Amino acid sequence: MRLIVGLGNPEKKYENTWHNIGFIIIDEIQKAKCDEFVKFKNSKKYKAEICEGISPEKKIILAKPQTYMNNSGQAIKSMMSFYKIETKNLWVIHDDIDLPIGKIRISQNASAGGHKGVQSIIEELGTQEFIRFRLGIQKEPPVDIPSEKYVLQKIDSNSKVALDEMIQTTLSALEIADLQGISEAMNEFN
């Protein structure tokens, strides 16, 4: 069984912001594989919206924590405990302000790098051994506003093409990681 989590913030005001790219990708996975995944349902038990499906060989749970970004680890820990998921089977998709828009990096056993949602997961699980799909959101040239404000800005129309390409690249990377393994995906996409 695998748990694939997209990080973001609940509430309508955060939709289509840079910090919610994890939610956007999870929604795209569900749409692309709609015959394999049921619709999302809000689970108060896990503090997350979840939907379940099957990949070629395993059950997959897609999740969007509803705890707000900085407390994402609470929802993830409860799901992992209930479903008895090992950390190697946790894949987390999130924004990364240190990567240019459109770039993705896959990492494992990496520090939070200042990302508070990832830090929450590390603290709750007591390990950083999970897989991360880091999605670049840094403007070129970099914008001169604090990171905390930038990540909560709406994604502008000038960035839409790069965002759409990054979504497709991420979906491809997830598929290769699922079918061929994380190392293969890292070799191809990092």
- Whether 34 shows a pLDDT value over 80: the answer reads no
> Residue 115 catalytic?
no
Q: What is the mean pLDDT of residues 66-78?
A: 96
- Whether 38 shows a pLDDT value over 90: the answer reads no
The Cα 91–Cα 120 span in angstroms is: 15
- Whether 129 shows a pLDDT value over 80: the answer reads yes
Percent of the chain with pLDDT over 70: 97
pLDDT, one tens digit per residue, over 42-54 is 999 999 999 998 7
pLDDT, one tens digit per residue, over 3-27 is 999 999 999 999 999 999 999 999 9
> How many CA atoms within 13 Å lie on the side-chain side of 46?
23
Domain boundaries, the chain: 2-189
- Whether 142 shows a pLDDT value over 70: the answer reads no
In this predicted structure, what is the pLDDT of residue 158? 85
Class of domain 2-189: alpha beta
The Cα 33–Cα 81 span in angstroms is: 26
The Cα 141–Cα 149 span in angstroms is: 17
In this predicted structure, what is the pLDDT of residue 68? 93
For residue 90, with 0-12 CB atoms within 10 Å meaning exposed, 13-18 middle and 19 or more buried, which class applies? Answer: buried
- Whether 57 shows a pLDDT value over 90: the answer reads no
What mean pLDDT value characterizes the chain? Answer: 92
Could you tell me the pTM of the whole model? 0.94
The Cα 190–Cα 185 span in angstroms is: 8
In this predicted structure, what is the pLDDT of residue 55? 72
pLDDT, one tens digit per residue, over 78-123 is 999 999 999 999 999 999 999 998 899 999 999 999 899 999 999 9
In this predicted structure, what is the pLDDT of residue 56? 67
Q: Which of 4, 5, 17, 19 is catalytic?
A: 19
Determine how many CB atoms are found less than 10 A away from the CB of residue 160. 10
